[in-house]
Copies of this chain bind each other. A is one copy, B any other.
Amino acid sequence: MNTINIGLIGFGTIGSGVVATLNQNINLIEEKVHKNVRLKRIVDLDITTDRGVEVNQEILSTNVEDILEDDEIDIVIELVGGYQPALSFILKAMENGKHVVTANKALLAKHWQEIINCATKNQVRVCFEASVGGGIPLLAPLNDGLAANNIEKVYGIINGTANYILTKMADAELDFDVVLKEAQLMGYAEQDPTFDIEGHDTAQKLIILGMLSFGIYVEQDKFHVEGITKITPDDIKFAREELNSVVKLLAIAQVDDECELEIRVHPTLVPQNHLLASVNDVFNAVYMVGDIVGPVLMYGQGAGMMPTASAVVADCIDIIQDMERPVDYGPSQGRVKKIKEMSNVESKYYMRITALDKTGVLHSISGILSDHNISIESVSQKKADHGEAIPIFMVTHHSLEKNMQKAIQLIDKLDFVKEETLIIRLL
């Protein structure tokens, strides 16, 4: 049996998980690939802190060239994160004929073409199952298991922090800020949570899903990305009681009948009977529809040390089993003709308008909506003490986003409207 040598760059949480996984299941893995598998080198700036995993001290190095320039190393695992120097490491590794495994969604979302081109040119594989959905087998099933399909829709709950917060807000009827603090204490949210709660992390993962599903690369600032910070317990309660729905931060990519691609990230009302509505806490799931297979859903832990390590090591195993597999990432000529502007997206809307309880309020609001071709499916307003601002909940029929945006602008200028109007699109 010959030996496959792996080099690991980045000995943080996920890196430690990779080492723990290899320690725990090396026999299983070697039996599977019929080769010896050796973690030959770990490079990190910090090689002294105890990571709580058993590791041969002799393989630790602070010099990345010990991996990139070692001809014996077949596979480089990049877990440095961020753009640089991670990008340079990956490109250099591939130029030196090494296959690459990475969990670096930010890097892939930004430098997709450069990375894929480099892999193709050097005839090595770059695998990134861990970059979307953590431990869930997701990208391989999409690429391979659904290979006979044109993908029509992809709906993902792919940020555990946001999903945890929305779940807890619903369960405990608590405000966003309260739950965020709790999530930070429990380690489910970063001290600066912007990236997760404003949808940026979800957007990066959606770019990768979009490539593999539709063969279309869309830059992150080219599509609508909206976070969950404005959602209140009132919205969640109304959704549950009146619409039998839950609020989820969804990544959405779908092709319509005119072959236009909708791609967007925003809070979405998901009907209770949709499987995505049952994806709670830090769990992730991606719901896909193929033209042959119909709907398919994959569910599991989208982050965390061991789940993410599971995907990283699975990628290594896949590469070892199949070093010669042609490098191929998504359909090169999908059916997509153009990317739809957000303003042309159609949706049903939930609206929360906060207004004084005065005569003529509903009349003015419904007038504006009607002027913008938005028809109201239902409206609900609670009694209030005179002079107090109260929420008016509305649900519209299918309407155009640009009309809705114009209508909201006008509504929010009405003098009896006291807060910014919130909309949540319905799935």
Instruction: Tell me how far the C-beta of A285 lies from the nearest C-beta in chain B, rounded to whole angstroms.
Output: 8
Contact of A294 among B135, B313, B322 (CB under 8 A): B135
Tell me what chain A mostly uses at the interface: helix, strand, loop, or mixed.
Answer: mixed
A193 at the interface (CB under 8 A from B): no
CA distance A317 to B142 in the complex (A): 13
Within 8 A of B (CB), among A331-356: 331-333
Size band of the A side of the interface? 35 or more
Within 8 A of B (CB), among A63-99: none
User: Could you say how many copies of this chain the assembly holds?
Assistant: 2
Q: Which residues of B contact A137 (CB under 8 A)?
A: 137, 141, 144-146, 296, 298
Contact in complex: B140, A144 (CB < 8 Å): yes
Segment among A116-124, A217-225, A304-312 that sits at the interface with chain B: A304-312
Q: Which residues of B contact A150 (CB under 8 A)?
A: 25, 28
Q: A293-B135, A296-B300 are in contact. Are A317 and B144 (CB under 8 A)?
A: yes
Instruction: Tell me how far the C-beta of A39 lies from the nearest C-beta in chain B, rounded to whole angstroms.
Output: 13
CA distance A277 to B272 in the complex (A): 13
Contact of A310 among B31, B292, B300 (CB under 8 A): B292
Contact of A25 among B149, B307, B313, B317 (CB under 8 A): B149
**Residue on B with the closest CB to A137?**
B145
Q: Can you list 18 pairs linking A and B with CB atoms under 8 Å apart?
A: A21-B148, A25-B292, A28-B150, A31-B333, A32-B331, A135-B292, A137-B145, A144-B314, A145-B311, A147-B314, A273-B278, A275-B279, A292-B309, A293-B300, A293-B310, A294-B300, A294-B301, A295-B301
Enumerate the 7 nearest inter-chain pairs by beta-carbon distance, A residue then B residue, closest first. A137-B145, A137-B141, A148-B313, A293-B310, A135-B293, A296-B300, A297-B299
